[in-house]
Amino acid sequence: MSVQPAALQIPPGATPAPGTGSSFARRFGKWSPRWLALPFPLFLLLLWYVAARFEWVAPQVLPSPQAVLLTFIDLAASGEMFDNLRISLLRVLLGFGVGLAGGLLLGVAMGLSPVFKDYVYPLFKAFSQVPVLGWLPLLMLLVGIDEALKVILISKAALVPIALNTYKGIENVPARYVDVAKVLKFSRWQLLTRVIFPAALPPIWNGVRYGFTHAWLALVVVELLASSEGLGYMIVFGRQLFQLDVVMAAVVVVGAVGYTLDRVLAHIEIILLGWRRSGF
């Protein structure tokens, strides 16, 4: 058994002096998570620059970051990038709105009515297992390749997580909350608005965020396959002409816009669910 030197022994109950073993942990703990997330993407950017600079990959396949930046500036100056971005945003907002309304109605109905759930839930689960692309050939025959096709597929992608999270959120409301409401003789409307929906709001909002993420992904997929405008079309058009700088510029915009919209939803969540931090 090894014995710790007397100079290094710490009496029981004493705390280490500042700057001994925990100074690095304290300094590291002061870093914001946002700063901690920067090194890896910066490393990827550096690796991309080095690979393009020394032509580890052919420039026709991997354009340099400078080339992509210049292409983005040109597309933005001409208005082409923003025109396609506007079209994509309108599509995803319309499809997400339809999916949001349908998902909330369906989730609330399944959560509040056991009979309705028994009839609908098995079919809904089967419907949700079919990916967005699985419906594409059938819908192309039924509605063509116009805007209706894109809105239906985007709304389907958003509806599934919203409906599931809404149903599960209502179903998992603690029974003791309902018992207290009955003791207080709440009406059914008061029970829904003051107990059920506030308690189920966190999972419902999670479903809204997941639904929007799925809608954004479905938008890009649909535009890749059946569209003549939008960010997804820019990616396909650039690939067909072997303009990889256009492809990568559009991909960067897709990622940046999707991330920004998700952060907006996260900020709204903090506002809506701020009451949870008050202890009530």
Supply the CATH number for residue 238's domain: 1.10.3720.10
Angstrom CA distances, 55 to 51, 62, 251, stand at 6, 9, 22
Identify the band that residue 8 occupies on the pLDDT scale cut at 50, 70 and 90.
very low
Q: Which among 204, 184, 181 has a CA at the least distance from the CA of 111? A: 204
Is residue 260 in some structural domain?
Answer: yes
Is residue 119 in some structural domain?
Answer: yes
Q: Which two tokens stand for residue 28?
A: 């590291």
**What value, to the nearest 5°, has the Cα angle with vertex 195 and ends 110 and 103?**
30
Q: Which two tokens stand for residue 58?
A: 């052919």
Identify the band that residue 253 occupies on the pLDDT scale cut at 50, 70 and 90.
very high
Q: Give the amino acid at 86.
A: R
Burial group, residue 45, by CB count within 10 angstroms (0-12, 13-18, 19+): exposed
Angstrom CA distances, 69 to 84, 248, 256, stand at 18, 9, 14
Q: What is the mean pLDDT of residues 162-184?
A: 91
Q: Which two tokens stand for residue 73?
A: 């500036």
pTM of full prediction above 0.85: no
Q: How far is residue 78's CA from residue 66's CA, in Å, rounded to a whole number?
A: 18
Q: How far apart are the first and last CA of the chain?
A: 53
Identify the band that residue 243 occupies on the pLDDT scale cut at 50, 70 and 90.
confident
Is residue 55 in some structural domain?
Answer: no
Residue 97 scores a pLDDT above 70: yes
Is residue 179 in some structural domain?
Answer: no
Q: What domain range is 257 assigned to? A: 69-170+201-274
Residue 233 scores a pLDDT above 80: yes
